[in-house]
Structure 1
């Protein structure tokens, strides 16, 4: 408006006194400026009155009309030309930017990297809806990051209500619009794909059209300017060239903006939320202060902010700034099948692969990770098409060895017709590059880095100036992306590939007796260490990690140690070694570790996975014998065995007719076994020292889509009214199949009757028998229950 005002001032100043008087005379005809005001007004006052009465655009139009009536055509033409430039500079330039930006964002979002750069695919062609749910911010401060298998091992159960990624900011507004959205999820689970889907739907006008502009800001690119001092506009300009003419526009003051910061776990910014916040758009600061100021809502309070992160880094955002905390869980079982059928066009082959994966429960569970689905599809397509071999091994390590071998064969097959000498040279260079990447993988895994820069690569003797280093096979497992200012950003196609190659590097260092590289596992340099010592030290190191960043690496290291794995890797390693004795001693060591006090459930499950990678199924078979026989060995199950028992039930999908923890273990471990009730038809938990906290897990089990529980005995437990309220939420779920519920001697009052009455009224409830004897229900409680009994939905047959 100041620019329009100045234009009108300059125009009327060019009029002589008589001409100005005549101008005001014409202006009176347009009203509504009082005659008395206009008579006394000079050029400046006249402009002010016009702007107040008509607004800037109409004031210019009226001025142009009057000048033309006065035959001041030259002056009118000057005003019109200057006003057009001002309008273009402000509004039209802004509109042009918004259109260009939206188009650019559409191009950026509609292609996703599935393997090498030339194999970028259309998001719409392969996109399968992901399962996103609301989480609990408290969990991120005590969570060990592993490849999660089920909610059974979560500290806090949720209602598992799916959230569409396009609804995130809608839900935020319902919670607290002044705070941010924080989304966590393990590597490869689909966080970035969800971000791309959000942007694509916005850019195509399908969702979130109240947002004028969306900025995608990956931390891996932000890292490159982390040491610079910039204001908000200069910061965004590093990523979006189309902003260059809009430094002081209305974009930052009058438009709804959304900032998506993707990959907090890849950030190398020193985030200090206690530092003073930035409040002015024009003011320069360090990049970390700019980011924390946006999160705090001090800089652009009306802006929407969405941050994605792996669980290990999510706790860098203080909970007081988070208005909506969500978790990407990956694919449900149904979504896994949808992905394979989209990815593999041959329907028969897709069906064969799906059937094969289902034969290995551990692999099938891991397929909730989209990137793992891609790796699995790559391996099984190759094996089943070429060999029609359906009885292939299915340990995780063998899957990744096959994946690596397939990529190496791709490289060599391109040169089948060349001279054998040339082909041998290429294979040698290929092997050298794999070994360098394996060293890089391990060095960066130790520092918990999953994105790397040129200096990181140089430290491992990788010459980034040679384009040939990043073509062919290498491009299938290692990504190179263009960052800001023509810099390059590098990473493996998935964190699990980095963890696998890191394990390859460590095992090769052991074979070659490269003790210096193995110092990470030992307090003091050792000479001639045995494989048993190395594996045991690796177990200890992984157990020390609070985030579990070495868990998958440990599983791969175990699997690679097998003679069968060494034979597969003969093209990469110089010699093999008989490891039978070391493997036997290592399995015993792992079993001893599992019995130690204070180990988290997640760590116990990972040690169980390690045994499976070593092809030791003794623990699995022992658990199965507990479940299938009425007669058990003399000693009862330890705490660790109880955790594994629950996991085995999920893995095998075995349904028990009756589940009674008293038969398996001591009272100290009853609560550990509660999640297993969803895998049994009848659960006898009478007198198991349970409280209202246990009911949260039971309620989640009732709401599970695969729950088969028909009868539940909770008598003689201190559940209290709050516990029954939690149970009632589960009983009202359409997934609940519970027909018999016993709540005798549970310290209940009339309040519990109100909760259960609402269950009886629910159209979803199938409850037929209810025992509430020996509780202080009183007359008021019976009246509340009676209301439920009168409901046409009530199916109750027996009430005690």
Structure 2
């Protein structure tokens, strides 16, 4: 008896050329297959595409529906009859089972597979329905605290050239994509819509919510709320895969290592006919060679290295109909060649609205959550950092404790003080839980745990130097930590999993957040300095030094941090600065055996930072600005505020780094300028570019004659689309923007967030093509433009005709046109 594939081949062959073309047209609409895929497809290719995408049964159903729409009832009847016979014969020759709950009839093989998949789904749900915060006793229901994250579609350009820690405000980054938001449940819908490739790559900094997004995707799938066209999802974290690099597996054998419930399937139609999703979480933690040039696998039976299995799945040679999702920190994302990625997304954390939503979910006491939100808003640096979900958790933990337990009025606002309080809270929890100690003060808590904290701090620094965020028992042992005893209590370090298996019983560890590792690393370095343990400090010096002063240490740490292209020492540096303050040393009494007067060293360090501020990169200048705030030196901040508030000294010539910091101060403050003119601060074209993102913080931006180009319009467009943009008037006259610049700006003008009412393009080298872009803007229901100046441009009659179409639109609100 013919197979389903053969039945469909025969049916397509019976269609004439015109009818086949019409069939493919319906298939594009009903099956959502791209035009480019079907354009050159013959009858055989069309069937293969349908089987690959929908599976045999659904392919037959879609074919029958389309044939009936085409009035090819005779062909439809033939196909239906033959298909029914095939099913009857299969059922007659094979034992069948009936699911009494759903009244569904299954072949025995399918029945077994169905039961295995149900077990797998239940096991998956148990694995991911809780998230743990600090330690496994603090497990929280994922659905109870989950807050939708801001995830956007992006591209693969320059993914390895980003500063990891400084990605605090996207406005500052001159974002080139248009921030198209994507819900995590819809990523494969977007993939299928845009591309025939099978892989999605999602990047995001540590703690931003990549893993939580993956878990929410799986949870919704297991509960039947989304992606029900997917039959099976396999979550394969790289930190577990790292334990399997010394032997070869077939794909099925590899999956058995993670999911023993699949053991009875053997060679199953699961891999041949079902839609599968493989999720590889944490590419940045991978210790695989990731050799995409090696020979690819195309069969599930063949044994190979885990690296070969992974790269073959991503390339699409192994299980071509399956889908792959890979998550990574930015610096590691470039390890997958762009040609294999069908959709590139970025988790950008919480928007301002989502931050508040998180705190209200996390803290059920409404008065307390409101008080915490109000406090965070008073410190814009804390508020901006809260776009990182894990930082929200640390902030909530600290502020809850301070406000409830201590009823404090003057709450810490620097990062360092927040993390010292976090350490104290964890020690207090440990002593109450494990030691059953009576109430003690902070000093006693630190004294009781001093030995363990110092070991953890050493571990944090040693691993930070190697840029490792996950580590193993041998790494702990190198720092005299007994993995079987010492880590259960701290809440600062977490045992991520323990998988009992005949081959792989290893434990993997990491700190609860990368910033906790950086904080403890700074504690280690400062205590080494106090104890004159110079050997440990050689990391910061080219040659061995004796009797290093704090001033030398801090300045060399500044230089070392600036050498890092990815900024992996930036946050560590801020913590080291903050810990060196006398007030921080006092808070750490019990851990630190003696304090030191660091006033003069800090004065010299702040002086050094201000001196080099004019000669460093944009990213470094912002981090050093934060270092000054950690040192409680607000002079640079106040100086910048004076630039903004005074009109006495127009025509200043600020350095490029100072322009960067000025922009950053505007973005992190709540101050709204009535008017912003870059020429007040600099006369440099490149510095004008640095100041552009600040336009979102002003009502009127005067960018006339600022040597802007079409590329500048990308930043301006991003500013107009910002949720908190207040820009009402924008003068871009006398800049060589050209038609392309206007086209880029048009996307921002159509945004529902744009509040721009007055726009001037006089002498911008525009032609009729610009009028086409602006006409589409005037037709947009979101556009609120009331005044538009296009004078002194070569628009010609054709441009005016194009513009007239927009002026006729009922959505057009324009009152003045020049």
- Normalised by the length of structure 2, the TM-score is 0.85
Give 5+ residue unaligned stretches, structure 2. Answer: 3-81, 96-105
Q: Deviations over 1:368-405 (max 9, x none)?
A: 11111111111111111122212212100000000001
Q: Distance in 2 between matches of 1:169 and 1:743?
A: 41
Q: Distance in 1 between matches of 2:496 and 2:443?
A: 26
Aligned to 1:139: 158
Corresponding residue of 1:319:
338
Aligned-residue offset at 1:58: 2.7
Structure 2 partner of 1:614: 631
Q: Kindly state the Cα deviation for residue 120 of structure 1 after the two structures are TM-superposed.
A: 0.9
Alignment CA distance shift 1:766-1:61 (3 Å): closer
Report what 1:682 is aligned to: 700
Is 2:743–2:773's contact at 8 Å kept on the other side of the alignment? yes
CA distance in 2, matches of 1:767, 1:549: 44
Cα contact 1:147–1:366 (8 A) shared by 2: no
Is 2:687 the partner of 1:656?
no
Match of 1:201 among 220, 223, 240: 220
Match of 1:558 among 573, 577, 580: 577
| Matched residue, 2:453 | 434
Q: Secondary structure at the match of 2:660?
A: helix
Assess, with a 3 A threshold, how the Cα gap between structure 1 residues 429 and 291 changes in structure 2: closer, same or farther: farther
Indicate yes or no: 2:567 matched with 1:548. Answer: yes
Do structure 1's residue 291 and structure 2's residue 322 form an aligned pair?
no
Displacement of 1:209 in angstroms is 0.9
Query: In the alignment, is the contact (CA less than 8 A) between 2:470 and 2:508 conserved in 1?
Result: yes
Match in the other structure for 1:475: 491
In 1, Cα distance between the equivalents of 2:444 and 2:614? 51
CA distance in 1, matches of 2:716, 2:591: 50
- Please report how far the alpha carbon of residue 251 of structure 1 lies from its aligned counterpart in structure 2 after TM superposition: 1.2
Partners of 1:699 and 1:728 within 8 A in 2: yes
Specify whether residues 319 and 420 from structure 1 end up closer, same or farther in structure 2 by C-alpha distance, changes over 3 A only: closer
C-alpha separation in 2, matches of 1:165 and 1:715:
41
Contact 1:747 1:775 in 2 (8 A): yes
CA distance change for structure 1 residues 345 and 491 in 2, over 3 Å: closer, same or farther?
same
2:381 to 338, 348, 362: 362
Deviation at 1:782, TM superposition (A): 1.2
Distance of aligned partners of 1:203 and 1:177 in 2 relative to their CA distance in 1, 3 Å threshold: farther
Q: Which moved more, 1:661-670 or 1:621-630?
A: 661-670
What whole-Å deviation, never above 9, does each CA across 1:746-795 have from its counterpart, x for those lacking one?
A: 11111111111122222222111111111111111111122222222222
Relative to structure 1, is the Cα distance of residues 647 and 484 closer, same or farther in structure 2, using a 3 angstrom cutoff? farther
Say if 2:716 is the partner of 1:698. Answer: yes
Structure-2 residue corresponding to 1:761:
779
Matched residues in 2 for 1:308 and 1:547: separation? 18
Deviates more, 1:270-279 or 1:612-621: 270-279
| Candidates 702, 727, 739, aligned match of 2:757 | 739
Distance 1:786-1:253 versus aligned 2 partners, 3 A rule: same
Q: Does structure 1 residue 752 correspond to structure 2 residue 783?
A: no
1:138 counterpart SS class? coil
The Cα shift of 1:528 comes to 0.5
8 A contact 1:165–1:198 mirrored in 2: yes
Equivalent of residue 815 in structure 2, options 792, 797, 800: 797
Deviation at 1:424, TM superposition (A): 11
CA separation in 1, counterparts of 2:460 and 2:129? 30
- Is 1:272 aligned to 2:303, yes or no? no
Alpha-carbon contact 1:252-1:300 (below 8 Å) kept: yes
Which of 406, 425, 442 is equivalent to 1:387? 406
Aligned to 1:68: none
C-alpha offsets along residues 300-338 of structure 1, whole Å, 9 cap, x if unaligned? 111100001111211111111111111111111111111
Partner deviation per Cα, 1:610-658 (whole Å, 9 max, x = no partner)? 1111111111111100000001288521101110111000111211111
Note the alpha carbon deviations across 1:718-756, whole angstroms, 9 max, x for none.
100011111122111121111111111111111111111
Q: Please say if residues 174 and 715 of structure 2, whose CA atoms lie closer than 8 Å, have aligned partners that are also in contact.
A: no
- Aligned-pair distance for 1:475? 3.4
Structure 1 contact 217–262 (Cα < 8 Å) conserved: yes
User: Where does the alignment leave 5 or more consecutive residues of structure 1 unmatched?
Assistant: 3-50, 65-85
- Once the two structures are superposed, what CA deviation does each residue of 1:458-495 show, in whole Å capped at 9, x if it has no partner? 111111232xx2333x1354334214633211111111
- Structure 2 CA distance for partners of 1:63 and 1:409, relative to 1, 3 Å: closer
Q: Aligned residue for 1:628? A: 645
Aligned pairs for 1:146-225 within 5 A: 146-225=165-244
Q: Quick check: 1:444–1:450 contact (8 Å CA) kept in 2?
A: yes
Deviation at 1:56, TM superposition (A): 7.8
| Compared CA separation, residues 576 and 780, structure 1 to 2 (3 A) | same
Query: In 2 relative to 1, CA 723–415 (structure 1 residues): closer, same or farther, beyond 3 Å?
Result: closer
Which of 86, 89, 97 is the aligned partner of 1:58? 89
Find the aligned partners of 1:778 and 1:729 in 2 and give their Cα distance. 24
1:146–1:602 Cα contact (<8 Å) kept: no
Question: CA 1:338–1:634 in structure 2 vs 1: closer, same or farther (change >3 Å)?
Answer: closer
Contact 1:139 / 1:155 at 8 angstroms: preserved in 2? no
Q: Deviations over 1:130-183 (max 9, x none)?
A: 111112210313212124222223253322232110000000011223231111
- Report how far residue 593 of structure 1 moved: 2.5
Alignment size in residue pairs: 724
Contact 1:224 1:484 (C-alpha < 8 Å) held by counterparts: no
Inter-partner Cα distance in structure 2 for 1:336 and 1:718: 40
How far did 1:420 drift? Answer: 11
Per-residue displacement from partner, 1:412-445 (whole Å, max 9, x unpaired)?
3458876999x99996562111111111111111
| C-alpha distance 751-480 of structure 1, shift in aligned 2 (>3 A) | closer
Displacement of 1:123 in angstroms is 0.7
Q: The residue matched to 2:236 in structure 1 has which SS?
A: strand
Q: Is the 8 A contact 1:655 1:680 kept in 2?
A: yes
Specify whether residues 785 and 115 from structure 1 end up closer, same or farther in structure 2 by C-alpha distance, changes over 3 A only.
Answer: same
Hey, what does 2:427 align to over in structure 1? 408
Counterpart-to-counterpart distance in 2, 1:615 and 1:641: 19
Measure the CA separation in 1 of the matches of 2:730 and 2:90. 78
Matches of 1:621 and 1:412 in 2, distance apart?
A: 43
CA contact (8 A) 2:444 2:590 kept: no
Map Cα deviations across residues 92-124 of structure 1 (whole Å, 9 max, x no partner): 221111111011111112111122101111111
Displacement after TM superposition at 1:263 (Å): 0.8
* Rounded Cα–Cα distance in structure 2 between residues aligned with 1:318 and 1:786: 46
**In 2, distance between residues paired with 1:612 and 1:127?**
32
8 Å Cα contact 1:296-1:321 kept in structure 2: yes
Task: Calculate the aligned-residue CA RMSD, in Å.
Answer: 2.3
**Matched-pair contact (CA < 8 Å) for 1:721–1:748:** yes
Listed one character per residue, the Cα deviations across residues 575-623 of structure 1 (whole Å, up to 9, x for unaligned) are 11111111111112212222115x1x22221111111111111111111
Q: Is the 8 A contact 1:356 1:390 kept in 2?
A: no
Secondary structure of the corresponding residue to residue 200 of structure 2 = strand
Distance 1:62 1:288, change over 3 A: closer
The separation in 2 between residues aligned to 1:53 and 1:108, in whole angstroms, is 41
Distance 1:61 1:537, change over 3 A: same
Give the drift of 1:411: 2.7
